[in-house]
Structure 1
């Protein structure tokens, strides 16, 4: 959306038109009003499409007539993760250096007396200011320009917290590392901590976590957040006053879609890895946040689970754990994978459809599916990995019923119905 389109969209008659055509197909609307000089057809069509997507990502905020751009909505935090971030901070003043659509700012404004929103993109800054007014949010100072220059205009120690979500897409190219993003938080680490004693950095879910302390000396916590089982954010918390010998704590946070905390797993990532064992009666895949945080070893220790092999995060046990933080499966059979005989394995078990998963296995799921002509299934699962001896295996498993999972016997497993 251009600045001119935004200004035209904000005219009362065009906002009325947006509301009147709320149920229209966006493409059909754009085609119908294409060429009408007094109607920003493309901008209205963009809003129609964005509002439909926002219903799932921003269910509470979608009740208000707020505006979006396609990219800003895609990059914005969902309500569950935004509310969680706001629960971690407290104080009088916070500055959001990378305001974007303003979703995080909206939630920070609920817990701080004063929030400064900074955004270098003029369209986004005006759009966010409009949205703050629509929702009735006060206490937000909206500024447009270079955020580091704005931060420098405040005295040292003025803010309690700084929040920054570095842009990981510059010139159409996506980056993962902290130093390749904008702003480069590794380069301005000391500067940020002069302006606030605490800093929260929202990083890519693909960020490598192993050497972060070298890049960010004040790092005190790494929090990996999943929503509904999907890893959404890596939060890096810096503390100017942390003890010199402070070990960086890792926390995997599992949120439900409504934002409630289902589970938190805490550790250092340096816990010992237990020995691998043959696949037992039940097969477990930890939540994505636990795996990303490197806390599968801690989870295995806490729950008495064993690893399937020495390199991946698949776990196994003879007993069923009803509230396992991730996915649990009832094992039907385990087969050493050999391409020539695997069709016989599928035939013996009547498997013509399955969800295909793999870790540390040479073939991709789509290759396996094509090779063996497997249809999709939400009931039968085939996990391709390596056994404790390093040889490739396939684990055929089913989702257990909660009521009967704990008492399933070997005979029950062998009597599994066909897929």
Structure 2
């Protein structure tokens, strides 16, 4: 989208056209109207694509005359994550240092008297301005400029919170490290804390969560957030008061599914010792990715009376299926030593022609295992290739539960 296309999209007749055809195939629309010079056909087709994605990702934004770019929509927080995140912050004045599409700014504006939306991309800032007006968010001001430059000009202690979602693309590639993203929150840590006593950083789900306090001395909590079983965000909560507290960082796993919220928190030094089962029980449980990423699997196992299948991976087992623990669960039909010829005979004798293959701490890749056993995919039957408690390679033949 260009700024000129944005201006054309804002016309009432074009908005009406988008609404009329938003349920149509965008390619068919483009072919049907390709000879209409009065319509920005390419841009309208793009909006049709975006509106379909918005209905699932940001349902509150659906059904309104809002405008998007595909990349900004892809990078924006989903509604469930944005609402939960907004619940962490409250006050008079917040700066969203990297505004983007503006979904976080909008949901945060319900928690603050004033939100400063900052975005250096002129098109995104213009889009956000249009969308905020359409949403009736009158307490958000638009600042189209470099966020760090704006921050440097603000008086110290003039903000209650700063929210920042650094751009994690470098030379067209995604990066996970804090210092590789823009702005560099590690380099600007002291500046950020001078302007606001509290800071929330949205980091990549791939970020390594250990050792972060050495990079961000004010860090007090790491939140690993999953939505519907997918790890979506890592949030780093910093507080000026934590600079002198001497406390270890708290790690929190939060799993959102529908209206349900499940959480577990601990400090790494408080993590219990892994209890490994001599033999697998009746069920295999794979915890939610947020639990695994936050290294809280041992604590979850202790809470729900589970043990590890082995000492190296986060597969849990028991004779009960621990329904309250977020994650996937399976009934174990057989535990077999990894001997390809014997496994092929077992599959043949038990009419197993399809299975989803999973592997952890196993020498062969998924591609090699698929080629070796030539099984079709299955949403119900699973084969877990891993190690036993004694370290030998095994295959757990399982059926999905629930």
TM bucket, shorter chain: over 0.9
Give, in whole Å, the separation in 2 of the partners of 1:73 and 1:285.
Answer: 31
Give, in whole Å, the separation in 2 of the partners of 1:34 and 1:206.
Answer: 42
Per-residue CA deviation, residues 145-204 of structure 1 (Å, 9 max, x unaligned), is 101111122110111100000000133111110000000000000100000000000000
Give, in whole Å, the separation in 1 of the partners of 2:264 and 2:70.
Answer: 34
Q: Is it true that 1:364 corresponds to 2:365 in the alignment? A: yes
Greater shift after overlay, 2-11 or 211-220? 2-11
Q: In the alignment, what sits opposite 1:18?
A: 18
Give, in whole Å, the separation in 2 of the partners of 1:35 and 1:123.
Answer: 26
How far the C-alpha of 1:28 sits from its partner, in A, is 2.0
Q: In the alignment, what sits opposite 1:314?
A: 315
Q: In the alignment, what sits opposite 1:326?
A: 327
**Maintained 8 Å contact 2:15/2:65:** no
How far the C-alpha of 1:276 sits from its partner, in A, is 2.0
Q: Secondary structure at the match of 2:398?
A: strand
Q: Is it true that 1:398 corresponds to 2:365 in the alignment? A: no
Q: Secondary structure at the match of 1:81?
A: helix
Q: In the alignment, what sits opposite 1:216?
A: 216
Q: In the alignment, what sits opposite 1:416?
A: none
Q: In the alignment, what sits opposite 1:199?
A: 199
Q: In the alignment, what sits opposite 1:266?
A: 265
**Dislocated runs of 4+, deviation >4 Å:** none
Per-residue CA deviation, residues 191-223 of structure 1 (Å, 9 max, x unaligned), is 000000000000000001111111111110000
Give, in whole Å, the separation in 2 of the partners of 1:400 and 1:232.
Answer: 24
Q: Secondary structure at the match of 1:28?
A: helix
- RMSD between aligned residues: 1.5
Q: In the alignment, what sits opposite 1:63?
A: 63
Give, in whole Å, the separation in 1 of the partners of 2:143 and 2:20.
Answer: 32
Greater shift after overlay, 347-356 or 363-372? 363-372
**Maintained 8 Å contact 1:94/1:112:** yes
How far the C-alpha of 1:328 sits from its partner, in A, is 1.7
Give, in whole Å, the separation in 2 of the partners of 1:301 and 1:23.
Answer: 49
Greater shift after overlay, 89-98 or 331-340? 331-340
Q: In the alignment, what sits opposite 1:414?
A: none
Q: Is it true that 1:249 corresponds to 2:250 in the alignment? A: yes
**Maintained 8 Å contact 1:312/1:360:** yes
Give, in whole Å, the separation in 2 of the partners of 1:329 and 1:19.
Answer: 44
Q: In the alignment, what sits opposite 1:297?
A: 298
Give, in whole Å, the separation in 2 of the partners of 1:344 and 1:111.
Answer: 62
Greater shift after overlay, 315-324 or 128-137? 315-324
Give, in whole Å, the separation in 1 of the partners of 2:282 and 2:14.
Answer: 62
Q: Is it true that 1:116 corresponds to 2:153 in the alignment? A: no
Normalization by structure 1: what TM-score?
0.92
Q: Secondary structure at the match of 1:4?
A: helix
Give, in whole Å, the separation in 2 of the partners of 1:154 and 1:123.
Answer: 24
Q: In the alignment, what sits opposite 1:417?
A: none
Greater shift after overlay, 170-179 or 186-195? 170-179
Per-residue CA deviation, residues 306-330 of structure 1 (Å, 9 max, x unaligned), is 1111111001112332222212221
Query: How many residue pairs align between the two structures?
Result: 399
Give, in whole Å, the separation in 1 of the partners of 2:18 and 2:225.
Answer: 35
Per-residue CA deviation, residues 358-384 of structure 1 (Å, 9 max, x unaligned), is 211223334323321212222211111
Greater shift after overlay, 262-271 or 210-219? 262-271
- Distance change in 2, residues 1:174/1:322 (3 Å): closer
Q: Which runs of 5+ in 1 are unaligned?
A: 402-419
How far the C-alpha of 1:261 sits from its partner, in A, is 4.1
Greater shift after overlay, 101-110 or 361-370? 361-370
**Maintained 8 Å contact 2:170/2:180:** no
Q: Secondary structure at the match of 1:266?
A: strand
Give, in whole Å, the separation in 2 of the partners of 1:120 and 1:362.
Answer: 47
1:17-166 matches, cutoff 5 A: 17-34=17-34, 36-166=36-166
